[in-house]
Structure 1
Amino acid sequence: MRRALTACVVVAAVAALLAPATATANPAVKPPSYGDVLDMRGVPETAHPGGKEEDDGNPVNVFADQGAWHAYALPDEKKKESWGGFSGPLYIAQEYPWWLSDAFSRLRLTEDGKPLDLAAGGKPEFTGLPGVLRQSYRLDGGLRLTLDLRYATDRTALVRARVTNTGHSARTLRAGWSGKLLRPAKKPMRDAPSLKATDTGVGVDFARVRETWDYLTDGTERFEVRHAEPVRTSVEKDSYRTDLERPLRVRPGGHASLDWTESYTFTRAERQREKARAARALHRPAEVTARGEERWDGYVRKATRGVPADRRRLAVKSVETLISNWRSAAGMLRHDGVTPSVSDKWFAGGFWAWDSWKQAVGTARFAPGLAKDQIRSMFDHQVRPGDKDRPQDAGMVPDAVFYNDAARDGGNWNERNSKPPLAAWAVWEVYRQTGDRAFLREMYPKLTAYQEWWYRNRDHDRDGLAEYGATIDPANKTPEDARLAAAWESGMDNAPRFDAALGTKALENTGPDGKKLGFSVNQESVDLNAYLAADQDHLAKIAAASGHGREAASWRTRAAKTHRAVRETMYDPKTGWFYDTSLGGERLTARGRGIEGAIALWTGTASRYQARQARKLLVSPDEFATKVPFPTVAKSSPYFAPTKYWRGPVWLDQAYYAAEGLRRYGYGRDARELMSRLIDATGVGSTKDPIRENYDPTTGKGLNAANFSWSAALLLPLL
């Protein structure tokens, strides 16, 4: 053991020595290896992010920071007409992303009435660096232009244009900006945005639109551009032009700067607050730059600490993914959190429970304050005792929360089911990174209430083993509705083990008083009960660290009992794997092997012998060691489908649990080799492609949502 620890220390020390220096106040000397870890070039052609109304995904990778609800991309090098402006913004209409413009603020420079050619000195450079988007141009006669976009606040981006004169003569230029709206194709959202000139630039107001599945505004939203210096703006229909009132004089060897902010706010109160904050950013732009660089240098330094040199770019890509998916408190979202993906229509504007737990674990490594808040963001909506709508669900954490709840056209808000109980793990991992006992004390009663809810509302036969299920909810009108909600509650929506055709059905649960509590499916799931055992282990640690020694002992006793029940009832010695069981105790082996069986290794539930047998399947090419290892359904299963969501694709969270399970039982070499194969086969670490929601285990092709948060989050501890 001592030898292994020593080796880890040596590896970490060598990695630290090899790590590129990141703590610098000069963005020009940022490590070049961290430039363009993601390709953020692209120009939208339509307001709809996918180009077509039926497309949910956005092919352009975007950058946001500080929890802003609007994001940007770099121009396309092949489209000269896009140069001089940042693509976008992509704004979130409460829950749905839309492009406001191809480039709302495109800078133009003229001299003697003639426009300066941005390509006069050759091909420009467009670069995405940690915390900033940058454009660099060489103009004629020794002029250089650099445009930097970074975020000053959770609602405001700051753009700095710097014109440098390397020639021998003074230059007198005129500066201006122009842009046009991209309107949605269909009414009523087509008519939502409207351009207006302001004293400091230009603004876009949004009309009230309540299209539940496409576009949600209250009529108070505004996007506003403010310039540091006096300007004049004219508007014609969907286009505008802004001109700097004074000429821009640049002496030989000197430079001149132009600063402006771009803010997107939801309410009048936010707009008033942001007016003052934007003014401060324009008054002290160098401070905004310095603070941003310091913060991002910290992110990069922490995220790459101990990571092998050839994997550090992937660590930085993970950070950039998580930060661009960060949304600050707004509407019904009372704390900051991380959405699954700003690149996907359905994932851009809300928080999911088990996504939040996993994302907090990764985020805690470089931004622990954000990690704490995203845990809080879900527990803000934990059902309280005596709740007027669902008192029977006291303690439950909803599946998903959004800007709007159901009372405000919030179709994505979901209380018809919960999600797997990983919150105590997330809280403990945040504590391990921060040592914040106050956070443990804050979360402990909420975690215990959540744990008790599972056994009160999801243990149909009261045998101490729980089932996935559904709540009493308008959306769960029929047994089939409840079965579907239970599958969602597992997080593995369409996994074969929840197929109605294979016998899965929903049953009503009642309390001691005979009152209906909700539903359970007619099977006890191995992952759920292993998660509950781990939750109890973590609650024991949290109780002990919070000064509740007697309760800690009780949690340890409960955990041991739950581990034993899973170990004794859900492991099949004939096949060497863990399976869900029927309520009668029958192991459901005919449904094939699923990656959920590996959870018993991650939680430490399996015996040494059971882990050894499971390891044989995890390293077998005919089972789980496919080209991209750890498919959600084993290759040997009759239900294996490599591109069908939870019926075969590799999800990085499940790969994380499987790899960490192998490590836990001493199979570290297997874990390293399989994860290296996963990273190499998907190209996630060697290309500028985004981190995907899941991957085809037979080809390595990325599938479904791009820039997916929990994939990025759990790559960090794996690296």
Structure 2
Amino acid sequence: MKHLSRRQFTASSLVPLGAAVLPAVPAHAQERAEESSEGSQAGPALLSGLTDLLDLHGTPDAARPPGDNPLNVFADLGAWHAYGLPSPADHSHFGGFSGPLYVAEEYPWYLSRSFTRFGLVDKHTSKAVDLSADRSPVLESRPGLLRQSFRTDGLRVTLELRYATDRTALVRADVHNLGHGEREVRAHWTGELLRHTSEPVRDAPRLRATEDGVAVRFAEVRSFKDFLTTTQTRFEVVHGVPVHTSVHGDEYRTTAARPRTIGPGGTVSFTWTESYWFTDAERRARRSAVREALDRPDRVADRSDRRWRRYLTRALEGVAPDRRRVAAKAVQTLVTNWRSPAGALRSDGITPSLTNTSFAGGFWAWDSWKEAVSTAVFDPALAVSTLESMFDHQITADSPDRPQDAGMVPDAVFYNDIRDGGLNWNERNSKPPLAAWAVWEVYERGGGPSFLRRMYPKLKAYHAWWYRVRDHDGNGLAEYGATVDAANDSAEQRRLAAAWESGMDNAPRFDDVEVRANTDRAGHTVGYSLDQESVDLNCFLYAEKRYLARMAAELGWRQEAKELNHAAAALRDRVRTRAYDPATGFFYDWAPDNGGPLTGRGMGIEGAVPLWAGVASSRQAAGVRAALTDPARFATHMPLPTAARDNPKFDPTGYWRGLVWLDQAFFALRGLSDYGYHRDAHTIGEQLLRNAEGLLGDGPIHENYHPLTGEGRNAANFSWSAAAVLEILRGR
């Protein structure tokens, strides 16, 4: 497999633990102040025009968003709560930021339409300063911050929201006197809860006045399907000036204890923090960080701005000027979906989508592999943690539940472990073995040698697991399958888990398959395999061998590298022979026991993986290229659907039965380029970017797209799609 990456950063770009801007900020979120000058002097031309990359305007109508929240939000530093902006028509919400949207351990909910609305009263006239009197307010997002600005009643009121830590947002309101006379104003803040319509969620949040602001405490609700809080869960607003708060039912009003005088041309500032805590222990541990943010808001702003300039300077390197906005939007999407350690999640990682009910509170294996590769472009340490967030839960030989699965990486991990009742945690299957590829790419992009040394034995164990429990006939060709798990209690459930393990849940190639038990030497069942050997799986395993060989050579183990390369070459030759059909010029899954390619199931995008992996011969690659550029097959309006257009089971709305997934499209483009079809890769890449709904505008990046119309489908603000977009843009 041709390797296109180059070392963009050195190991010194990683942050030593404890080098954070504030005590509670994860080390990888910040670099030392003296180091952060890299990228902070980026030319204005590079970073200009990056306002409102994503439409973040609007206020929520209900406490529980629909399956895919129609509103986009912004979060940073791995926070578990996020915000948006009021729209120009939302006059009653001016001075407040939409939400917050908070993750009730695993599920996103809205606490309020805008929980903390800032206002002023003129002490001389006793009248409120009317922010809505400004007919042209500034309501915008910029990389790393949300901003509102109003000119009204002789004042300019500007509010900016940034994140100070992984649990705390900092808001600063500057009030500037535009007039020639002295002004005296008193600040106040108002808000109310947005309640759910039914119990037990309806009465879970409770407003409470505090000495320095207001808090929302929660009742214990353990509804594992939709809402999870404990009596320690808390949302808290802390002000930087003395205040008095009164609570009336679901509404509160906080008032500054003293008015402030503003001279002509002068400015006064008000700061407050908005924190979302899961436990009392983390609240106590981070109390000093809240205080420091309030005492030093300029430092928070400076560090945040420098970090974001560094992100974008790195990410936009080599990106065409007319594509920089979409590249920056991809970065913003990945950062908003970053979650810091909480519950059973021990490392920072990236969720698929904060705005999707199913995808907000957990990490998936092959999502993480793809997300980490692109994240390493702008934050290598976050990329390292994203990979380790899954390997934190790698099954070991001393597992009380599944020792036979030693080495396996679970499909998905969430705030609540399955042993604690978590319904979303999934050990019924794993995911395609892209981990070694991801580790090598992250290493090349700044992961550092210690990261490679840590990961190599874990990757070897994961690689060995596939052959131990997913090779039914022991012929060295693996199958997707299922684990021995209480949920895999029937042939259909085992088939479903095996399809999940492929990542292509309902692809046509899994419609008519059976599952066979795999046993150890003692006759005990150790897992299950489909009755077909899959082309993508064995190409991924080929790539894993090649990447493991590179790692072994890098670590000084030459003989081990030689053995891995020899095994890879043998696997490559067998896949070429078994999976390729000369009559149709394409790769397919194949029947075991020396059976041929399963051409009757039609062409699927998995047939392009041999190009990405470097398995295909030149003649075979030419056949695949012909299919990928054929309008009757894969060259649809939005190109590279998961099932070819002439596949009998092609369904342009059918998840893995015809929708376009940008990660698979990226693999196909990389494969075409690696085999010398650069013009085709460029042309198809342009079609993907231009025809994906909203991609080049301020619309969210979607999970997948309709191949005939380009309509965005399923989850919005989807991380691995954002990762693929960034790779496509930087590889052009």
TM-score, normalisation: structure 1: 0.95
> Superposed, which structure 2 residues align to 1:133-212 within 5 Å?
133-141=146-154, 143-212=155-224
Percent identity between the two aligned chains: 55
Partner residue in 1 for 2:319: 307
Partner residue in 2 for 1:16: none
- Which amino acid letter does the alignment assign opposite residue 483 of structure 1? R
**Aligned residues of 1:263 and 1:274 also touching (Cα < 8 A):** no
How far has the Cα of 1:407 moved from its partner?
2.2
CA distance in 2 between counterparts of 1:636 and 1:545 reads: 45
How far has the Cα of 1:25 moved from its partner?
8.4
- Which amino acid letter does the alignment assign opposite residue 99 of structure 1? Y
The partner residue of 1:566 within 575, 579, 588 is 575
Partner residue in 1 for 2:116: 105
Partner residue in 1 for 2:548: 539
CA distance in 2 between counterparts of 1:23 and 1:393 reads: 44
Partner residue in 2 for 1:18: none
Partner residue in 2 for 1:623: 633
Query: 1:185 is paired with a residue of what secondary structure?
Result: coil
**Aligned residues of 1:313 and 1:685 also touching (Cα < 8 A):** no
Partner residue in 2 for 1:47: 63
- Which amino acid letter does the alignment assign opposite residue 635 of structure 2? A
CA distance in 1 between counterparts of 2:491 and 2:517 reads: 9
Tell me, yes or no, if structure 1 residue 294 matches structure 2 residue 334: no
Partner residue in 2 for 1:375: 387
CA distance in 1 between counterparts of 2:669 and 2:43 reads: 37
1:635-662 Cα deviation digits (max 9, x unpaired):
0111110011000000000000000000
Distance change (3 Å), C-alpha of 1:162 and 1:26: farther
Tell me, yes or no, if structure 1 residue 402 matches structure 2 residue 418: no
Partner residue in 2 for 1:695: 705
How far has the Cα of 1:684 moved from its partner?
4.2
Partner residue in 1 for 2:276: 264
How far has the Cα of 1:367 moved from its partner?
0.8
The partner residue of 1:387 within 377, 399, 421 is 399
1:180-223 Cα deviation digits (max 9, x unpaired):
00112221111111010001100001111010110011221100
How far has the Cα of 1:586 moved from its partner?
2.4
> Superposed, which structure 2 residues align to 1:370-519 within 5 Å?
370-434=382-446, 436-499=448-511, 502=512, 504-519=513-528
Kindly report the root-mean-square deviation, in angstroms, between the aligned alpha carbons of the 2 structures: 1.7
Distance change (3 Å), C-alpha of 1:455 and 1:215: same
The partner residue of 2:586 within 559, 565, 577 is 577
Tell me, yes or no, if structure 1 residue 633 matches structure 2 residue 646: no
- Which amino acid letter does the alignment assign opposite residue 131 of structure 2? L
How far has the Cα of 1:23 moved from its partner?
5.3
Query: 1:629 is paired with a residue of what secondary structure?
Result: coil
CA distance in 2 between counterparts of 1:507 and 1:30 reads: 56
- Which amino acid letter does the alignment assign opposite residue 69 of structure 2? N
1:239-291 Cα deviation digits (max 9, x unpaired):
10000011121111111100000000101111112221100100111000000
Partner residue in 2 for 1:552: 561
**Aligned residues of 2:338 and 2:349 also touching (Cα < 8 A):** yes
- Which amino acid letter does the alignment assign opposite residue 575 of structure 1? T
CA distance in 1 between counterparts of 2:630 and 2:429 reads: 35
CA distance in 2 between counterparts of 1:693 and 1:279 reads: 39
CA distance in 1 between counterparts of 2:45 and 2:616 reads: 50
**Residue range with higher mean Cα deviation, 294-303 or 403-412:** 403-412
Partner residue in 1 for 2:143: 130
The partner residue of 1:327 within 324, 335, 339 is 339
CA distance in 2 between counterparts of 1:235 and 1:24 reads: 44
The partner residue of 1:216 within 217, 228, 231 is 228
**Aligned residues of 1:506 and 1:519 also touching (Cα < 8 A):** yes
Tell me, yes or no, if structure 1 residue 87 matches structure 2 residue 89: no
**Residue range with higher mean Cα deviation, 76-85 or 60-69:** 76-85
The number of aligned residues is 692
How far has the Cα of 1:30 moved from its partner?
9.6
1:603-625 Cα deviation digits (max 9, x unpaired):
00000000011101101111111
Tell me, yes or no, if structure 1 residue 529 matches structure 2 residue 538: yes
The partner residue of 1:74 within 67, 81, 85 is 85
Distance change (3 Å), C-alpha of 1:687 and 1:264: same
**Residue range with higher mean Cα deviation, 679-688 or 419-428:** 679-688
The partner residue of 2:71 within 60, 64, 75 is 60
CA distance in 2 between counterparts of 1:653 and 1:540 reads: 25
The partner residue of 1:680 within 679, 682, 690 is 690
**Aligned residues of 1:47 and 1:100 also touching (Cα < 8 A):** yes
CA distance in 2 between counterparts of 1:684 and 1:439 reads: 37
**Aligned residues of 1:359 and 1:709 also touching (Cα < 8 A):** yes
CA distance in 2 between counterparts of 1:641 and 1:41 reads: 34
**Aligned residues of 2:59 and 2:113 also touching (Cα < 8 A):** yes
- Which amino acid letter does the alignment assign opposite residue 39 of structure 1? D
**Aligned residues of 1:42 and 1:60 also touching (Cα < 8 A):** yes
CA distance in 2 between counterparts of 1:473 and 1:361 reads: 31
**Residue range with higher mean Cα deviation, 436-445 or 676-685:** 676-685
**Residue range with higher mean Cα deviation, 180-189 or 649-658:** 180-189
> Superposed, which structure 2 residues align to 1:14-33 within 5 Å?
31-33=47-49
How far has the Cα of 1:712 moved from its partner?
0.3
CA distance in 2 between counterparts of 1:130 and 1:22 reads: 17
1:552-599 Cα deviation digits (max 9, x unpaired):
111111111111111111000000000001113221100000000000
Gaps of 5+ in 2: 6-36
How far has the Cα of 1:32 moved from its partner?
4.4
CA distance in 1 between counterparts of 2:375 and 2:235 reads: 29
Query: 2:703 is paired with a residue of what secondary structure?
Result: strand
- Which amino acid letter does the alignment assign opposite residue 338 of structure 1? I
Distance change (3 Å), C-alpha of 1:315 and 1:29: closer
**Aligned residues of 2:381 and 2:447 also touching (Cα < 8 A):** no
Tell me, yes or no, if structure 1 residue 711 matches structure 2 residue 721: yes
- Which amino acid letter does the alignment assign opposite residue 694 of structure 1? N
Q: Provide runs of 4+ in structure 1 moved above 3 Å.
A: 21-32
CA distance in 1 between counterparts of 2:556 and 2:231 reads: 50
CA distance in 1 between counterparts of 2:64 and 2:95 reads: 23
TM-score, normalisation: structure 2: 0.93
**Residue range with higher mean Cα deviation, 41-50 or 677-686:** 677-686
- Which amino acid letter does the alignment assign opposite residue 691 of structure 1? I
Partner residue in 2 for 1:8: none
CA distance in 1 between counterparts of 2:401 and 2:537 reads: 26
Distance change (3 Å), C-alpha of 1:505 and 1:678: same
- Which amino acid letter does the alignment assign opposite residue 656 of structure 2? W
1:14-38 Cα deviation digits (max 9, x unpaired):
xxxxxxx995689999944100110
**Aligned residues of 1:400 and 1:413 also touching (Cα < 8 A):** yes
Distance change (3 Å), C-alpha of 1:22 and 1:631: farther
Partner residue in 1 for 2:11: none
CA distance in 2 between counterparts of 1:487 and 1:672 reads: 32
CA distance in 1 between counterparts of 2:449 and 2:578 reads: 37
**Aligned residues of 2:79 and 2:338 also touching (Cα < 8 A):** yes
**Aligned residues of 1:428 and 1:542 also touching (Cα < 8 A):** yes
CA distance in 2 between counterparts of 1:22 and 1:439 reads: 23
- Which amino acid letter does the alignment assign opposite residue 176 of structure 1? H
How far has the Cα of 1:683 moved from its partner?
3.9
**Aligned residues of 1:523 and 1:583 also touching (Cα < 8 A):** yes
**Residue range with higher mean Cα deviation, 430-439 or 128-137:** 430-439
**Aligned residues of 2:47 and 2:312 also touching (Cα < 8 A):** no
**Aligned residues of 2:208 and 2:247 also touching (Cα < 8 A):** yes
1:530-563 Cα deviation digits (max 9, x unpaired):
0000011100011111121111111111111111
- Which amino acid letter does the alignment assign opposite residue 36 of structure 1? D
Distance change (3 Å), C-alpha of 1:675 and 1:68: same
Distance change (3 Å), C-alpha of 1:28 and 1:262: farther
CA distance in 1 between counterparts of 2:572 and 2:225 reads: 42
